[in-house]
Amino acid sequence: MRLTFRIPMNTGGKLALVTPEGGPWNDPVFLRNPADGSISFSVEHLGSLGVGSIGNEFVFQQFAQELGDKPALTLHATFTLRGNGLLQLREDVVDTEIEVVLPGQSTAGDSITGDNATAHAEMALREFLQAWAAKDGAAMEALLTDNRRQYSNYTDPTFFDALDRMEFGGAVAVPEAIDSYMTSGNGGRQGVDRADVRCFRAPVTFYLKPGVVGPNDSGEELPWMWFLVRGADGKWRVDDWGA
């Protein structure tokens, strides 16, 4: 399987693979071609599979220019299917080119659609969770609102001492939780417009080092809610989370 994304030059767009599902996977390769800037994801051999599906979730970081209704990128997909018949090896190739249109990126202060804003907020949340999984305290701090940062200590060298690893699942938007969050009396949300708040449910699982006892059992999935706030600079940052 090979997927090749061709992104227009000078757009500032970035592409990341979140989670490959299905499988088994054998040595996936995720590369950028310096010659034309295209990004490819390929697996030379997926294994011998029966009936089923393979899923890839990709995230596009916001583009820096207004693209309107113009194709933001093209996706070239090639799948080679092989099977052993009674008399011969059968090989089928599926090859297709797809144009993908992404919403234009507005600058801070411009109007921005709710769906687009939610996607950007989710991307910020993913970056925060990825930084946590990588035990990168400085990156976590940079992705927090000023309101939340005053209570954090992620740059403390001992913060990650008890953590073996951390995993997280997909994020699901929960807009109905925003109103109660803004009126919960936590003191941090006065003066924030509801349109600048997003909420997601994203489960996290912490695996502690042997012998460590924490507030939650090691390996217990926590279906936490995450709240993000958009600042005056147009960037989304994590503001609060919990059960």
Can you give the CATH number for the domain in which 134 is found? Answer: 3.10.450.50
Is 69 a residue whose pLDDT tops 70? no
More confident residue, 210 or 49: 210
User: Counting beta carbons within 10 angstroms of the beta carbon of residue 40, is it exposed (0 to 12), middle (13 to 18) or buried (19 or more)?
Assistant: middle
Alpha carbons 233 and 108: distance in angstroms, whole number: 6
Rounded to whole angstroms, what are the CA distances from 66 to 63, 80, 198? Answer: 8, 36, 24
Is 215 a residue whose pLDDT tops 70? yes
Confidence of residue 164 (pLDDT cuts 50, 70, 90): very high
Residue 113's pLDDT is what?
Answer: 44
Q: Which of 47, 68, 100 is the last residue of a domain?
A: 100
Please tell me whether residues 120 and 237 are part of one structural domain.
yes
Confidence of residue 213 (pLDDT cuts 50, 70, 90): confident
Residue 112's pLDDT is what?
Answer: 40
User: Is 6 inside a domain boundary?
Assistant: yes
Residue with token string 């916001």? 62
Alpha carbons 154 and 94: distance in angstroms, whole number: 48
Alpha carbons 197 and 176: distance in angstroms, whole number: 11
CA 161 from chain centre, in angstroms, equals: 26
The stretch 88-115 carries a mean pLDDT of 59
Alpha carbons 133 and 126: distance in angstroms, whole number: 10
Please tell me whether residues 136 and 92 are part of one structural domain.
no
Is 11 a residue whose pLDDT tops 90? no
The stretch 85-108 carries a mean pLDDT of 64
Alpha carbons 177 and 200: distance in angstroms, whole number: 9
Residue 110's pLDDT is what?
Answer: 35
More confident residue, 205 or 109: 205
Please tell me whether residues 72 and 120 are part of one structural domain.
no
Please tell me whether residues 24 and 127 are part of one structural domain.
no
Residue 72's pLDDT is what?
Answer: 62
Residues of the chain with pLDDT > 90, as a percent, come to 28
Confidence of residue 103 (pLDDT cuts 50, 70, 90): low
Q: Which of 42, 66, 100 is the last residue of a domain?
A: 100
**pTM here?**
0.56
Please tell me whether residues 238 and 163 are part of one structural domain.
yes
Q: Which residue range forms the structural domain that includes residue 178?
A: 114-242
Q: Which helix (H) or strand (E) holds 5?
A: strand 2-6
